Copies of this chain bind each other. A is one copy, B any other.
Amino acid sequence: MSVVQMVKIVGLGAVALTLSVEWLGWLFCRLWPRKISRGPLKEVFFFPTEVACTERLFTPNSPFPCPCPLPHNINTSFTRLLGHILSASSSLDLCVFAFTNLDLSRAVLALHTRGIPIRILTDMDYTLITGSQIGAIRRAGICVRCDSGAVHMHHKFAVVDGRRLITGSLNWTLTAIQSNKENILVTEEPDLVLPFITEFQRLWDVNDPARRHLLSIAEKPASLVL
């Protein structure tokens, strides 16, 4: 085979390969649009949501159906939110103003039982409201830090596995989920997730009790420190 013939064959092979890759990509996008063309996960849920049984999310392998009278096996905004929380496999960072919801508390405790590292940042004043789950979560050994400033730590976001952001207007309370008009946005878009990860770490460090203790010592008159 001459050199010229080889060049021609390689050239035509390259055409065929390049065009095939382009067309196969196009075909794949047309056939499975959610898998390829839409990019990172993006979901929006609105509340209030209808009440449904969440038992299957906590015990997916149970052979017994739940006997409760609530509707079963239906997807609601809340079951989807709960599913995202329970999907955590390496970490959960939660920054929430008010936390009284029992199902979400159970989800956090279930993750803790599985050995998944959890950090919770909340508003000091709102740990004292009726039904707050922060005490139970702390007693289970989960690390909680409180923002004790004179104003509100009003965030309502969570970062699952360092890559999935859950944010919106929804506090983790029963009223928010079953009564109020609320929204939740879930995304894995790095440009949106990374600023929340950075802000969580900043607030976590600022509210480190050891750091606060050192600062309070530094602020005391020298005579008192000595």
Contacts and interface: CB of A to CB of B under 8 A. Distances in A.
A152 to B, nearest CB: 5
A22 to B, nearest CB: 7
Interface string A163-188: 00001111000011001111101010
Given A15-B11, A15-B18, A18-B19, A44 B196 contact: yes
Given A19-B18, A191-B42, A167 B181 contact: no
Interface stretch (A57-65, A86-94, A153-161): A153-161
A40 to B, nearest CB: 10
Given A11-B11, A180-B151, A180-B154, A185 B167 contact: yes
Contact of A181 (B39, B152, B168, B180): B152
B183 A155 contact: yes
Main secondary structure of the interface of A (DSSP, over half): mixed
Contacts of A192: 42, 44, 185, 187
A38 interface: yes
Given A11-B12, A15-B14, A183 B169 contact: no
A68 B180 CA distance: 41
A17 to B, nearest CB: 9
A199 interface: yes
A176 B169 CA distance: 13
A208 to B, nearest CB: 16
A213 interface: no
A203 interface: yes
A151 B169 contact: no
A169 B151 CA distance: 14
A151 B175 contact: yes
15 contacts: A8-B12, A15-B18, A18-B22, A42-B189, A46-B199, A97-B169, A151-B175, A152-B180, A153-B180, A153-B181, A154-B180, A167-B168, A167-B185, A168-B168, A168-B169
9 closest cross-chain pairs (CB), A and B: A151-B179, A44-B195, A42-B191, A154-B180, A152-B180, A15-B15, A153-B181, A18-B18, A11-B12
